[in-house]
Amino acid sequence: MRRGLPSGLRRPASGLWALALLLGAAIRLDQIRDQVLVDDEWHALHKLIASGPLGIATDFGASDHSIPLTLLYALLERTVGLSELAMRAPSLLCGIALPLVVPWLVRAEVGRRTAVVLAWLLAVSPLHVFYSRYARPYEPATLLALVALVAGWRWVRGDGARARWRAAFVPCAILAPWLLPPAAPVVALPVALACLRAASPSRATPARRRELAAGVALVVAGWLLCFAPPLLAGPDALAGKIGRGTVEAATLVGAAELLVGTASRVLVAVCLAVAAYGAVVLARRARELTTLAALACVAQVATVVLLAPHGLRFPIVFARYVLVVSPLALLAVAAGVAALDRALRVPLASVALVATLVATGPLAWIHAAPNGFTSHMSYQADHAPGRYFERFRPAGVSPFYERLAGHPAGEVTIVEAPWHFFWHGLAYLQRVHRQNVVVGFVDDADAVRGGEVPRARTGIRLRNALHVGDADALRARGVDYVVFHRDARAEMRVPFDADAPDVTRWIERYRALHGAPDYEDRWITVFAVGRRAASPRPRRARTPARRACRSRPLPGRSRRSSSAGARRPRSRPARGRTARSRRTTGSSACGRW
């Protein structure tokens, strides 16, 4: 009989495990085709645009583009084409597999009940959902590093099917730190254990010692092959990234909230207490595995704190650097909850914990459709709705967005141009209007600014970022309006030195092509370019209910419009010709058709 559950309960446990996998996959795939590339997702694209394969392979990059991921993107661009979904595919696949693979690796030691609870905690973890949908190496490195850790430990210990464990350990141990160098401490632990066992004649036969030495040699050779070229080409590349960060009390508190998956500090404290109890339970049941997990957590956290990479004081940065060991911390929580379930003889504790984490977590708020910016830092850097989100409130919110809110959610598609990929309020604005958003490129030259792709790079086929001069692409994407931000840097309150693209020429081109703007105020100029925009709905009676704002209010948002004196949206004649907008004063915050 297997440990963990009586034989009569194995089938329900397997069903619950499968349900966790399905739910985790559904959350990770939600609206995935509509997600705009944001923030650090552009690091690899910038390197891809600036360098060829050799330049990619021999440079860590100032912004950590992840060499193997960028090489994969280069291959895709030259073959089947590179899209947002293709860029996110490695993270998606690893994120979906994580609730299956990690619990399966430890189920023999911790029991099936604990493995199932761990699968649920991983499936609904907001941080793992985020990095599963993010075109960065964090989730793939987490999965590979944990496979290397457990497989390497089993191989060194001499468990059955040693050859299979070694076959899993060697490639994962090589690839994980190549994807993400901060994952090296976790991967180095089984390598160190193998070296210690091979160096001890009393603990291994000569043949076994040769086997261990050969496995370690393969891993070290792989590391040399991957890391030697960029280190030789730029020996200071990694050194320039460390020693620039600090850890504060707020860092640890915020990181704990992110890793647990809730902004409730009471619930965070409860989970920490349950994890402490679970660690004791694990130590009694699986002492070696518990020691291994504890060493991995200590090594990872200590290395991150000692190296102090840039930006470490921000909770989201600290959390992503220790993400690789977060499933081990969740394992302790799962063990504590499973022990309580056994004491109660019903899975009350596990159901209550998972349900409470989901209810108090940010997933429902983040994934309220439509949302093309679920990976934006305004959603992911803090799990309290609005607490961090308000930092990205634009200097002014045009009444045009309240006009769009009069449409059913997701009915209209707009292009927002230009933008700053590292700081913008487009996520905030989409929260107001609840329509589909595509980012607009405005540069014509081959040497484009950051956050844009040259039009000549036809192998990069982004669905949610189009050039405003590509009429065919706009038509194929079903764009209804193109919104030009007159001064995006001032409007979005960009706190860094950044260029301010001049879109005057594009506004004049659109005037010549489409006639007078459909809407215009001090912040934006809007042109109707799609079929739906050319045939607006008839005006409705201005009843009190109609005047009520139909968009979901944002935390702390004023109901008063920030743009008094804006032009009112005009109606079009039946033949689609444009008429001049009338000036209005004191526009409603909700806007009216």
> Is residue 499 pLDDT above 80, yes or no?
no
Tell me what the mean pLDDT of segment 374-399 comes to: 87
Task: Convert the pLDDT of each residue in 307-357 to its tens digit.
Answer: 988 889 999 999 999 999 999 999 999 999 999 999 998 889 999 999 999
Contacts of 244 (CB under 8 A, 6+ apart): 308, 309, 310, 311
Q: What is the pLDDT of residue 267?
A: 95
- Range from 389-403, 408-422, 560-574 carrying the lowest mean pLDDT: 560-574
Is residue 213's pLDDT more than 50? yes
pLDDT of 67 higher than 90? yes
Q: Is the pTM of this model over 0.75?
A: yes
Mean pLDDT of 177-182: 94
Percent of the chain with pLDDT strictly greater than 70: 87
**CB within 8 Å of 105: residues ≥ 6 apart:** 146, 147, 150, 151
Write out pLDDT tens, residues 362-371: 999 999 999 9
- What residues does each domain of the chain span? 7-360, 377-547
Longest distance between any two alpha carbons in the chain, whole Å: 92
Contact 191, 151 (CB under 8 A): no
The reply to whether omega before 495 is within 30° of 0 (cis) is: no
pLDDT at residue 161, rounded to an integer: 82
Which residues, in sequence order, are CB contacts of 343 under 8 Å at separation 6+? none
Coil, helix or strand at residue 193? helix
Which pLDDT belongs to residue 533?
56
- Residue 389: per-residue pLDDT: 81
Strand residues in 142-265 grouped as ranges (E): none
Q: Give the separation between CA 462 and CA 476, rounded to whole angstroms.
A: 13
Q: Is 6 exposed, middle or buried (0-12, 13-18, 19+ CB in 10 A)?
A: exposed
Q: What contacts 317, CB < 8 A, 6 or more positions away?
A: 245, 309, 311
User: pLDDT tens-digit profile of 128-165?
Assistant: 999 999 999 999 999 999 999 999 999 999 877 888 99
- Confidence (pLDDT) at 159: 75
**pLDDT surpasses 70 at 212:** yes
- How far, in Å, CA of 324 to CA of 450, rounded? 29
Q: What is the pLDDT at residue 72?
A: 96
pLDDT for the residue 569: 46
Please state the separation of Cα 248 from the chain's center in Å: 24
List, as own/partner pairs, every contact residues 365-371 make where C-beta atoms lie below 8 angstroms and the sequence separation is at least 24, other chains included: 366/126, 367/27, 367/30, 367/31, 368/552, 369/30, 369/31, 369/409, 369/410, 370/31, 370/34, 370/409, 370/410, 370/430, 370/434, 370/435, 370/436, 370/437, 371/31, 371/427, 371/430, 371/431
Rounded average pLDDT over 101-123:
95
* CA–CA distance, 222 with 535 (Å, rounded to integer): 61
Q: Are 323 and 131 in contact (CB under 8 A)?
A: yes
For residue 10, the model assigns a pLDDT of 56
Q: Does residue 53 carry a pLDDT above 50? A: yes
Is pLDDT of 424 > 50?
yes
The whole-number pLDDT of residue 563 equals 40
Q: Quote the pLDDT of residue 593.
A: 27
Question: Quick one: pLDDT at residue 256?
Answer: 95
Q: What is the pLDDT of residue 206?
A: 86
Residue 464, pLDDT > 90, answer yes
Computed over its alpha carbons, how large is the radius of gyration of the chain? 27
The predicted structure's pLDDT at residue 557 = 43
Reported residue count of the chain is 593
The per-residue pLDDT for range 258-308, each reduced to its tens digit, is: 999 999 999 999 999 999 999 999 999 999 999 999 999 999 999 999 998
pLDDT at 205: 85
Under a CB-based contact definition with an 8 Å cutoff, are residues 264 and 325 in contact?
no
